Structure 1
Amino acid sequence: MSQLVEFAGNHPFMVLMFLAALFLFLNALYKEKSQTHQNVNVDQLTRLVNQQNAQVIDVRPKEAFDQGHIVNAINLPLSDITEGKAKINKLKKKPVVVCCQIGKSSQTASKQLTDAGFEQVFNLQGGINAWISDKLPLTKS
C-alpha cells in the first residue's frame, strides 16, 4: 500500500489521467445500462419486422415521409409524440422501431415512448439514411 501512495505522489499526472479515464468509462457504462430502449441496425430492424411483426414508426415531418419511407411505417411526427398527441396506445405491447432521417430525433421519440409505457422500443441507428445506404427500398405515399 505504501508503494501505491509513493507512486501516486511521484506521478500525479498519470494518476489523474487514470481517474479521468475510469470516470469516463463508468459514465458511459451507466448511460448504456440506463438507456430504456435498444439501438438496432438495418438488419436487426428487418428481422424484428419479419419475425416479431414489429411496427415501424417514422418521426420525420409528413413532407419527408411522403417522399419515401419504409414499407408499412406509420408517420408520427416527433412533435406529436413529445406533445402527447400520439394515439398509439394499441402498440404498447407490440415491438416498435422508431426511425428518423439520421437516428437522432428517433432517440428522443424512443425515450418518450418508453416513458409512456411502451414495452419494446427500438431505435434505428443511422435512420433512413442507413436504410438507403444499404440499398433497401423506400415506398412513397
Structure 2
Amino acid sequence: MNFETLQSFAAQSPLLSLAFAGLTVAIIVNEIARLFRGYKPLNPAGLTHLINTENALVVDLSAAGDFEKGHIAGSKNVAPSQFDPENKLLASARQLPVVLVCRNGQASGTAAKRLKKAGFEQVYWLDGGIGSWQAADLPLVKGR
C-alpha cells in the first residue's frame, strides 16, 4: 500500500476515515491519561515482587463469599460497599504500597483512583484481578 492508495480510500470512504482517525485519537488520549493517573496496574509477577520485597498491603474487594472461595495469601477483605480511604486498615498504610484486587480488575481500578485522590503515595491494582492470578498458576487460599 502506498500513500496514493490511502488517499484514494480516504476520498472514497470519508466516514470510515473519520471513524478511524477518531478511534486513533481516543486511543492515544487514553494511553497518555493512563501514564499520568498516578496508580499503576500490576501483573501477578509484579504483585508477588511487591509482597515479598516491600511488604505491600493487598486489599481484596471481592464479596465475602468469593473471598472465602479463594484469595491471595495475606490479603485483607474489604467489601466494595464499605471501601473507604479513611478505613483504619487503609489509613495506617498511607506510606506502604497498597495493591487493590478484585475478581476481574474493574472494581480495583476504580478503588485505586479513590486512594490516589485521598493522598496515598503508592497505589496499584492487579490487572485482570484474581483471574489473572489464577492464569499465572499462582495459589489461592480458601477460607477467611
Aligned counterpart, 2:92: 90
- CA gap 1:25/1:127 in 2 versus in 1, 3 angstroms: closer
Measure the CA separation in 2 of the matches of 1:62 and 1:18.
Answer: 44
Give the direction of change, closer, same or farther, for the CA distance of 1:118–1:132 in structure 2 (3 Å limit).
same
RMSD over aligned CA atoms reads 2.3
Q: 1:67 to 1:17 in 2, by over 3 A?
A: closer
Within 5 Å, which residues of 2 pair with 1:73-112?
A: 73-81=75-83, 86-87=87-88, 88-112=90-114
* 2:72 pairs with 1:67: no
Q: Report the TM-score when normalising by structure 1.
A: 0.81
SS of aligned partner of 2:100: strand
1:57-82 deviations in Å (ceiling 9; x for gaps): 10111111112111110111111125
| Structure 2 match to 1:131 | 133
- Percentage of matched positions with identical amino acids: 33
TM-score normalized by the length of structure 2: 0.79
Moved over 4 A (4+): 14-19
Structure 1 alignment gaps of length 5 or more: 1-6
Distance 2:37 2:141 in 1: 31
